[in-house]
Chains A and B, each alone.
Chain A
Amino acid sequence: MDKHLITRGVQRSPFWKFILWILPWGMLLGWGLYGAYLCLAEGLNQTNMDNRFAFGLWIYLDLTVIAFGAGAFFTGFLLYILKRHELKSVINSAVVLGLICYSGAIAVLMVDVGQPLRAWFTFWHPNVHSMLTEVTFCLTCYLTVLILEYAPIVLKNRQIRKIPSYLVFEFNLHKLMVVFAGVGAFLSFFHQGSLGGLYGVLRGRPFAFREELGIWPSTFFLFILSAMAAGPSFILLTTWLVEKLSRKRLVKHETLSYLGKLSGIMLTVYILFKSIDTLIWINSTSPSSGFPAFEYYDRAAFGTWVLFAEVVVFGLLPALLLLRKRFREHRGWLITSAVFVLAGVALNRFVLTIQTLALPTLVFDEFLSYLPSWQEVATFSLVIAYGVVLYSVSFRYLPLFPQERELAQSY
């Protein structure tokens, strides 16, 4: 039915199967749109956020997906700037994932702010000292870059590429991709950092507050490193997942293994600095502002195990596994390690966003709990459904994995 749209030389499931696959996600998307509509039309009273838990699921989601989406910039950087051609086979997929993560995050942010119609004030009257300004500027710029990176992939659709003007434009745009890769890396570097800085600068929240290095708190750099660790793992994992779901070989194992290695190296560096940072924070930053650090791990379910899980189980362990070639060569270990890397980074973002707000500041504050409302979950799933749909459509109609054709023929 839609065969003429599908890239040559690759096999895609029949159209009805594709529709069957899309349908539930489409329904989830619809539900999500309804939830988001309620939040926009009725106001954020539809959420379970409140004055004390002013940031909730959405900010957590944003921080996490943007860390995961870091694969796009990191891969682009390695491929176009450092010329690591191994990554050519995943760059398109990485770009789509990046686009999904970033556009999803921005869409949720637009629901999250109370006055989206005035959101442009941030551009018109920016407070250049705010991390959120940095995030906003970089996110929008980088999203533009991602769209420009995604455009050539779309233009390479089997039908679209037949239009000479599009193809010629694509060709020329693609030649300049190094510029976008560079700009993207630059922007990503800053907004990944600023997202870390977002909480790191909160002097009033000693759980999150970190001393400044230069003009940024240490979490700025930790976020960049952890995003660089999470990005390749996310690409690895999604690629593997798509391979499983589509029952195709899409990239060579060396590529996945290489992604794992990248993740492992970055994670090792990250964990090293994270440990140093944690020690400084526990022994100096936090107590000097009147907060004994152990109290943070004294409440509800948030024991020291959280820190242990984040640094050791989901940090050191996958880092060591991924650094060893033997484990990388083994699919099971590779995938498990990647999952652990992502879990570690997701946990880090959770701790920073949710636990920070749950913890009391004033002596007579209570430890707070927060459970998102269905509208929040719906909006959350909107992004996931949107991501799955966009990825599925892209996978079906666009050449996401250049090696697929070749691998299919060598089967």
Chain B
Amino acid sequence: MPLTLTRRDILKFVGGSIAGIMVTPIPWKLLDDVSIWTQNGPWIPKVPRGALTTSFSTCALCPAGCGVQARCVNGIPYFLSGTRNHPVNNGTLCPSGVAAHHLAYHPLRLKTPVQVTRGNGTIEVRPVSLDDVLRKISVASGNSTGAKGSLALLDQRPGRTVSLFYRKQLARHDHGIYLVSPTDPILITQCLDEMAETPFGPVGYHLENVRTILSFAAPVLDGWGTPAQTSPMLRTRHSSEQNAVKVIQIDSRHSRSAQLADQWIPLKPKTEAALAFGIAHVIIRDGLYDKRVIGRRIPDFNIPGKHSYSDLIGRFTPDHTSELTGVSSDVIVSTAHSLVARGPSVAIGDGDSGGGPLGKEAEIAIWGLNILLGALESNGSIVQRREAPVPEGFSSKELSPVMGISAIPDHSIGLLLIDGSDPGDPLPWSLLERKLIPRQSLVVACSPTLTGLAQHAQYVVPTPAHLEALTDIPTIVSSATATFSISAPLLKRPEGMTDAIEIMAKVFETEGSMEDLLKQRTSAIFATRRGCVFKAGTGTTVPITELGSPDEFWTELTAGGMWTDDPIRSKPFFQFHFMGRAPDAYQRMLDAGEAVSPLDGPLTPEMLTVLPYGRRAEVGGAQLSPLMTKLYQESGLHRSSKVAVLNPATAKKFDLVHGEQGILATACGTQKVGIRVDAAVMPGVIEIAAGPEPIGQAGNEIVQEQNILELIDPDQALPWRAFRATLRKA
């Protein structure tokens, strides 16, 4: 019979196959496997499997230097927490620290040295060899010795042992300048040096002695001191406990510290000096200070026939101060009274990271207040501090002086080397750029990522990322005693990473290795047999004398340990000039006090006052884990640099509503910002974070970071904590 297939036969066959398939595993197993595929598909990352261990180190993201305990899988940290009992953080970590182990995987991480070209909104990079960069530096360095400008090294983490190395090398160089960010606490030391009759040295705070803190815009409850200092204060907030610390926050911004403080005194921007004078006025007027001490120890307190502090203060009556600062005279009086009644009290300046320093005069005014309040008495809350011992050859006379940006003439730097690029504190590039010789200068940054100032450099050399690098942690400004700890690598650094010290050593044609340097330092500290050592593994603190050798000390330090100096007995009281020792001190202080707030500045209807701010360790993009989108974009808990916060009345004035986009403009440029309305913000101001956005998923494209500080007019110079800008609808 010939086989003829009709359509009907085929249909029958297909029908039979379908019926047959249904009684085989094919459809059912496929259904199951496909759904499993949606659960375990290749696009879903597999979690690591392997041995679990625990390691310790120290966080180097900000000056606090918290102890870090890392839970690791296959030796790679996957969860960080604070080291238990650590003197700095006592088992806690800030959000940046919690996610710090991600920084090694930052999407903008550099793998090779690059040449950077900035375009409009984007940045192009071209890989170059390290030798190329060194050759360029060598040429530029030759130029700088040949009177074509100076060689400046911007140290974005001053105070480290390697900083001493830099200063020593720069001192040997004819035109070497050691440059630090102006927000650095070194400014305070400079102020004190200007006030004190004899060199004063660094100070620290015994906050545990204090019952009232008067903070002049310092982020005291939000990253100024160490967690161990602020946690107790924060834990007793809203409690009726008598001895609980009371924090009075003087702040133009509704900052986090203002939110958390017991009292927030908002004042017109840039009128901190006036308010300090006003409070001092009440204290002096009502005789609430130790007349015996002040009369004896303050040379410029009252000099008949000459402009004295009393004269200066005399002008700042509560009413006048109120007019200047916008703070009611009742509040000024009551604040002064409560500072005295609820002592010991301390006033803290220092400014906010993104907002920049308060300015020298304001700092001096605040320190005057501290002396009036008795905070510098021998049993007061501010103490003198010894620095951690340094190795031989690093005494201060062998080092190049620490320079702030304002001390450097414009267009004078031929070669700028940057160590860091992601500091705790920002430096507006426009300020730095003015110091460079136009078109003939070379800027080279050592940075793990292409963020921050590195975006402005011509060449960037990749350095090991956080937790890959070996570095030491200098003493934080708030600490009453010297401390020293080491951030030892928890991760293996990838190929091609170079420590900044190696680059700098090559520039200065010398030898330098971080490990050697730190070993020298630890040996020097060990040699004094002073202080005690915290051991991370056990969570205990032992006198250094219990350690047998510098090596043992080194081992403890590199395993998340910390050295703390013995407290020193307060030196006898110094003689202080309340206005500083400069010849024109009176006039400068008066000007600073009488300075008109930008809020009262020339009023055009579209003008408002920009208050930039930032958190330590979160102004640099490389210090934000990609996961920090949770805080910035996904919860709004931290405001991104693209969000401007306004009072509803201000927003209304500019015809903007919550969620809209606005254009912020100054003579130096424009920036697009999202508008956020907040009734707690001072009318007439705009609060905006100076800092980058975290780069989350799929954020590998290099985009120029938007930073509000870029809008600062370099002519306006320091301080930049408030400036005028116009705002319009986007």
Contact = CB atoms under 8 A, between A and B. Distances in A.
B630 to A, nearest CB: 13
A362 to B, nearest CB: 15
A118 B34 CA distance: 8
Contacts of B540: none
Interface in B21-49: 31, 34-35, 37-39
B31 A115 contact: no
Interface string A104-135: 00000000000101101100000000000000
Contacts of A118: 35, 38-39
Nearest to B34: A117
A115 B39 CA distance: 10
Interface string B1-36: 000000000000000000000000000000100110
A120 B27 CA distance: 13
Nearest to B659: A369
A120 B38 contact: no
Contacts of B35: 117-118, 120-121
B38 to A, nearest CB: 5
Q: Which of B31, B35, B37, B39 has the most CB atoms of chain A within a 10 A radius of its CB?
A: B35
Q: Which of A117, A120, A121 has the most CB atoms of chain B within a 10 A radius of its CB?
A: A117
A196 to B, nearest CB: 30
A121 B475 CA distance: 59
A124 to B, nearest CB: 9
A101 B31 CA distance: 27
Contacts of B34: 117
A41 to B, nearest CB: 13
Interface residues of B, number: 6
Nearest to B39: A118
A140 B704 CA distance: 53
Contacts of A115: 38
Contacts of A120: 31, 35
A251 to B, nearest CB: 39
A120 B32 CA distance: 10
Interface in B148-201: none
A117 B37 CA distance: 9
B15 to A, nearest CB: 14
A119 to B, nearest CB: 9
Nearest to A118: B35
Nearest to B36: A118
A147 to B, nearest CB: 17
Contacts of B31: 120
A52 to B, nearest CB: 13
A121 B35 CA distance: 9
A121 B31 CA distance: 10
Nearest to B31: A120
Nearest to A115: B38
A121 B36 CA distance: 11
B633 to A, nearest CB: 13
B373 to A, nearest CB: 39
A121 B34 CA distance: 12
Interface in B525-564: none
B437 to A, nearest CB: 49
Interface string A134-165: 00000000000000000000000000000000
A118 B37 CA distance: 10
B301 to A, nearest CB: 51
A325 B545 CA distance: 106
A115 B38 CA distance: 8
A118 B38 CA distance: 8
Contacts of A121: 35
Interface string B712-729: 000000000000000000
B695 to A, nearest CB: 18
Interface in A376-403: none
Nearest to A119: B35
A262 B31 CA distance: 45
Contacts of B37: 117
Contacts of A117: 34-35, 37-38
Nearest to A121: B35
A11 B37 CA distance: 53
A120 B33 CA distance: 13
A374 B318 CA distance: 61
Interface in A82-120: 115, 117-118, 120
A120 B35 CA distance: 9
A318 B39 CA distance: 51
A117 B39 CA distance: 10
A392 B31 CA distance: 35
A383 B47 CA distance: 41
A32 to B, nearest CB: 24
A117 B38 CA distance: 7
B148 to A, nearest CB: 54
A331 B75 CA distance: 81
A407 to B, nearest CB: 40
Contacts of B38: 115, 117-118
A136 to B, nearest CB: 16
A126 to B, nearest CB: 15
Nearest to A120: B31
Nearest to B658: A366
A160 to B, nearest CB: 16
A397 B534 CA distance: 89
A283 B38 CA distance: 47
A115 B41 CA distance: 13
Nearest to B38: A117
B360 to A, nearest CB: 43
Interface in B408-427: none
A118 B35 CA distance: 5
B634 to A, nearest CB: 10
Nearest to B37: A117
A165 to B, nearest CB: 11
A132 to B, nearest CB: 18
A82 B31 CA distance: 42
Nearest to B634: A51
Contacts of B39: 118
A118 B32 CA distance: 9
B657 to A, nearest CB: 12
A101 to B, nearest CB: 28
Interface in A270-324: none
A324 B35 CA distance: 56
Interface string B116-151: 000000000000000000000000000000000000
Interface string B33-74: 011011100000000000000000000000000000000000
A120 B37 CA distance: 14
A117 B41 CA distance: 13
A121 B37 CA distance: 14
B223 to A, nearest CB: 26
Nearest to A366: B658
A264 B107 CA distance: 64
Interface string A197-228: 00000000000000000000000000000000
A319 B7 CA distance: 57
A14 to B, nearest CB: 32
Nearest to A114: B38
Q: Which of A115, A118, A120 has the most CB atoms of chain B within a 10 A radius of its CB?
A: A118
Interface in B228-264: none
A293 B454 CA distance: 57
A168 B34 CA distance: 40
A120 B31 CA distance: 9
B89 to A, nearest CB: 31
A117 B34 CA distance: 7
Nearest to B35: A118
11 contacts: A115-B38, A117-B34, A117-B35, A117-B37, A117-B38, A118-B35, A118-B38, A118-B39, A120-B31, A120-B35, A121-B35
Given A117-B38, A118-B35, A121-B35, 8 more contacts: A115-B38, A117-B34, A117-B35, A117-B37, A118-B38, A118-B39, A120-B31, A120-B35
Interface of B: 31, 34-35, 37-39
What 6 A-B pairs are tightest by C-beta distance, nearest first? Answer: A118-B35, A117-B38, A117-B34, A115-B38, A118-B38, A117-B35
